[in-house]
Amino acid sequence: MEMRGVVEYVICELVRLLHGFGGVRWLKESTELTQRKIGIVGLGKTGRMIADALSFLGADVSYYSRTRKPEAEKVGIVYRPLEELLADVEIVCTCLPRNNYILGEKEFELMGNGKILVNTSVGQTFETEAICNWLRNCPDSFYLCDATGMGGLQDRLNGFPNVLYTPYISGKSIQSIERLSQKVLANMKDYLSSH
């Protein structure tokens, strides 16, 4: 299922943070997504949609995935090993399946201060203590997530001023429910016609 609402969430929250529209600004001056170095970790369907949208807005997009994506590389989305990507980009967007803990102390150390981590995955993509240490030690960094990205960590992350959390599910909308319903009906129709 296409997760267009998730793409909208990522663009919306990044624009708000980059320009300071929500009262919090990433850098001293407002900045656009144009020429910002953004890394997508996990280039499945949702990750690719986010990469395409960010590329359209002028961002310099690269990705890390367990498997290379030649079709993405053909349109200029550059593959990088994880450590290189984390060290080089300014914004990291994780788009991973549930229970893929890819970020630990070492990875957050590579990211350093002044970075943005956006989690579009269902649940955390990091070790809990590692992100707490990163948020505490890197006050100019931010973690952005919706209800699915927060998972059960709201109590642990609630006190950090650099956590921007929306308690809604970005992938749940009238349109996404309609698309899912149509897909279920089509699957039922296909099954019934083949039996």
**CA 135/CA 93 separation, integer angstroms:** 16
How many Cα atoms are found within 13 Å in the side-chain-facing hemisphere of 20?
Answer: 8
Look at 172 and 160; give whichever has higher pLDDT: 160
Per-residue pLDDT, averaged over 126-141, amounts to 96
Closest CA to 92 of 82, 106, 100: 82
% of the chain residues with pLDDT over 70: 89
Average of per-residue pLDDT values in the chain: 89
**pLDDT class of 32 with cuts at 50, 70, 90:** very high
pLDDT of 180? 54
Condensed to tens digits (0 to 9), the pLDDT of residues 69-106 reads 999 999 999 999 999 999 999 999 999 988 888 999 99
> CA–CA separation, 50 vs 82, rounded Å?
18
Amino acid making up residue 41: V
The phi and psi torsions of 18 (rounded to 5 degrees) equal -70, -35
**Orientation of helix 4-19 relative to helix 45-56, angle to 10°:** 40
Least confident piece of the model among 14-23, 34-43, 130-139, 149-158: 149-158
pLDDT digit string, tens, across residues 1-19 = 457 889 999 999 999 999 9
